[in-house]
Amino acid sequence: MQWGRIAVFASGQGSNFAALIQAQQAGKLGGGSIELLVSDKPEAPVAQRAEDAGIPALLLRPKDFGSRELYEAAIVAELQRRDIGLVVLAGYMRLITPVLLEPYAGRIINIHPSLLPAFAGKDAIGQALDYGVKLTGVTVHFVDGGMDTGPVIAQRSVEVISGDTAESLAERIHKVEYGLYPEVVAAMAAGRVELNGRITTVSSL
Ligand code: GRF
């Protein structure tokens, strides 16, 4: 498996997917190349982005399969056929099962719009606003079987400003995501991320 052959998984807008494509085009993805989009929502805007960029897409509806495991087995077969070595979740709204986790152990990463372990799960930005924190941010982490529980690779903070709405805060958080995620994907693609237990080390990020 080659680290630099990347599949991006997304369910929605795909603005992080777009940022990763731009980074690749600018030669800033550590030699990595995005070989495939996987989406569980064939009608999502991210599918159109893949088409526009000429990136192959695997668009499968989980409900067309007998179980979550069969759905993921179909994905794994395609990943292996394309020799994918790195799975990048970018707004992929499903938990991953052992069917994908086992063959891709240590090779699946996710981006989450909070400073984990605060505000895991859905609507992290709304959760942070409701809680009243003054500082939130972005986390990139390895994926395990839990909800946003895997080892942290990188984090960046974003201040909550008085009068922030979910939209205004989301806009600043997304900007940080578009900078941070390509950097981490580049580091992964170049083999610059080490994992020991829960502790990760990124060389020259
Ligand atoms: C991002 O905020 C990401 O942190 C979260 O889902 C959102 C995806 O947005 N996991 P987009 O589809 O990349 O625009």
**166-177 per-position pLDDT tens digit:** 999 999 999 999
Q: How far is the CA of 10 from the centre of ligand 1 (A)?
A: 8
Contact present, 62 and 90 (Cβ < 8 Å):
no
Output the pLDDT for position 204.
78
Q: Encode 151-170: b = buried (16+ Cβ within 10 Å), e = exposed.
A: bbbbbeebebeeebeeeebb
Going along the chain from its start, the domains and CATH numbers come out as 2-202 (3.40.50.170)
* Amino acid letter, residue 182: P
Output the pLDDT for position 205.
57
Output the pLDDT for position 1.
84
The H-assigned helical ranges of the chain are 15-25, 45-53, 68-81, 98-101, 124-131, 166-189
174 is catalytic: no
Ligand 1 contacts (CB < 6 A) are 10, 12-16, 90-91, 111-113, 177
57 token code pair: 């897409």
Q: How far apart are the first and last CA of the chain?
A: 23
Contact present, 46 and 39 (Cβ < 8 Å):
yes
Contacts of 181 (CB under 8 A, 6+ apart): 16, 19, 20, 88, 90, 111, 140
Catalytic residue among 99, 112, 164, 193: 112
Output the pLDDT for position 112.
98
Confidence (pTM): 0.97
Comparing C-alpha atoms, which of 126, 103, 104 is closest to residue 113?
Answer: 126
> In the chain, which residues have pLDDT < 50?
none
Q: How far is the CA of 174 from the centre of ligand 1 (A)?
A: 8
Question: Can you tell me which atom of ligand 1 is nearest the CA of 12?
Answer: 12
CA 12 to chain centre: 12
Output the pLDDT for position 79.
98
Output the pLDDT for position 203.
92
